[in-house]
Chain A
Amino acid sequence: MTALALPALPQRRVLAGRWGKALRGAAGVLLLLVAWQVSVPLVGLSSYFYPSPSDVVASFAELMRKGILPVYFADSMVRYGTGLLAGALLGVAMGVLIGLHRTVAVTLSPLLKFLFAIVEVAWIPIFVVWFGYGFKTIVLALVYVVFFPVLYNTLLGVRTAPQILVNALRSLGASRLQVLRYAILPGALPGIITGLRVGAGFAFRGLVFAEIVAAKTGIGYLIFEGTQTQQTARTIVGMIVMGLTWLAIDLCFLRPVERATIQRWGLTVDAEQRT
């Protein structure tokens, strides 16, 4: 009996642990919402200064009914996806190039270090002058944000790729492209994924700022416009949407891809601890 019952126990414990964690998290959020709602009459300020959760819910419903939130959300996500993809591709390509060619590394390193020190916020005004308000400027700012973490992590990955595999492939007569395809790129993958995750986080923060400065749509613009038009509840809706969207991106895309990459490279213990 005991022997039959034993295998089910860890699974049940894992499930109970997960549900327990989720419930505790939900309870924390609920507690915050109740405290917030209760504090509104006690504070006694107008909804412009201190909107209640019910004001925020009403504002969310209004933004949905008027079709504003879906469009702003879609605009933001298209900009974010494009910037992330372009920045990641550029970062990986440059990282591999610099990692494999000493001359390129020596030539570009000072320039890259110089550019790395200039935050994207400083570039946005000049991008606006060059490309105007909207898509191009925001995407360029995001590419800039994503590029550096991906580049440096790819570079690290390329330089720490298992030399024994590279040597083995070379001794078997593999071409440079085959060495890159079968040893260097897979070896650099954990670094690339780490860079992508860091870059994705930076880009998400950068998106809000870029949209505040250089857009007439988007969640960042909604956050800004809400306070400008004395509709603070809309600003809070924008903030909540940003937070939830990031949680969803991390949960559905970044974390599973990172976990899969780490598992693929035999670091399962670390991956388990992170979940």
Chain B
Amino acid sequence: MLRVPLAAAGVIVTVIMGWWLVAYVAAERKLASLQPLPDRGSYSITLDFAPERFHQQRLQEAGRLVEVRDRTVYMMDVAPTALHAIAGQYWVDKVARWEGR
């Protein structure tokens, strides 16, 4: 009787788990060349497009947003876990170290 709700719940859980897995793998791949990560670091985060307010707000949650130039956002005081979360986003093209201003 409850096959449909259970199947739908299963699909939702699978999609969420798959999403997390893909994000985790993507983050590992993007951060591979930056290991080991410092406690707090400065990074340039390049997107696939010019960032909108949504992206800037998300990035501000991870650290101090210093500057936005074209498709790249420059950030300071970013913790490794926050950087990992950012790098897992599929709209983040690449992450590189930044020496700061």
Give the interface of A toward B (CB within 8 A). 65-68, 71, 216-217, 248, 251-253, 256-257, 259-260, 263-264
Contact A67 B91 (CB under 8 A): yes
- Give the A-B contact count at a CB cut-off of 8 A: 38
- Chain A residue nearest to B92 in the complex (CB): A67
Q: Which of B1-9, B30-38, B74-82 touches A? A: B1-9
Chain A residues within 8 Å of B57, by CB: 216
Question: In angstroms, how far is the closest chain A Cβ from the Cβ of B58?
Answer: 8
Q: How large is the interface on B (under 10, 10 to 19, 20 to 34, 35 or more residues)?
A: 10 to 19
B residues within 8 A CB of A68? 52, 54
Q: Does B29 have its Cβ within 8 Å of any Cβ on chain A?
A: no
Contact of B4 among A216, A252, A263, A264 (CB under 8 A): A252
Name the contact of B52 in the complex, choosing from A66, A216, A217 (C-beta under 8 A): A66
Which of A66, A217, A251, A257: most chain B Cβ within 10 A? A66
Determine if B8 and A252 form an interchain contact, defined as CB atoms under 8 angstroms apart: yes
Q: Which residues of A contact B8 (CB under 8 A)?
A: 248, 252-253
Q: Is A253 touching B5 in the complex (CB atoms < 8 A)?
A: yes
B55 to A256, Cβ gap below 8 A? no
Residue B67 interfacial (CB < 8 Å): no
Q: Cβ of A248: which chain B residues have Cβ within 8 Å of it?
A: 8
Q: Is A257 within 8 A of B2, CB to CB?
A: yes
| Complex contact A66–B91 (CB within 8 A) | yes
| 1-53 of chain B: CB within 8 A of chain A | 1-5, 8, 48-49, 52
Within 8 A of A (CB), among B76-90: 89-90
Cα distance A248–B52 in the bound complex, in angstroms: 30
B1 touches A65 (CB 8 A): no
Q: Is the CB of A256 within 8 A of B2?
A: yes
For the complex, give the distance between the alpha carbons of A217 and B1 in Å. Answer: 36
Q: Complex Cα distance A252/B91, Å?
A: 31
* B1 touches which of A67, A252, A263 (Cβ 8 Å): A263
Q: Are B5 and A257 in contact (CB under 8 A)?
A: yes
For B3, the chain A residues whose CB sits under 8 A away are 256
Question: What are 23 A-to-B residue pairs whose CB atoms are below 8 Å?
Answer: A65-B49, A66-B48, A66-B49, A66-B52, A66-B55, A67-B55, A67-B90, A67-B91, A71-B54, A71-B58, A216-B57, A251-B4, A252-B5, A253-B8, A256-B1, A256-B2, A256-B4, A256-B5, A257-B5, A259-B1, A260-B1, A263-B1, A264-B1
Given A253-B5, A260-B2, A263-B1, also A65-B48 (CB < 8 A): yes
Residues from chain B with Cβ under 8 Å of A257 in the complex: 2, 5
Contact: A67 with B89, CB < 8 Å?
A: yes
Chain B residues near A65 (CB-CB < 8 A): 48-49, 91
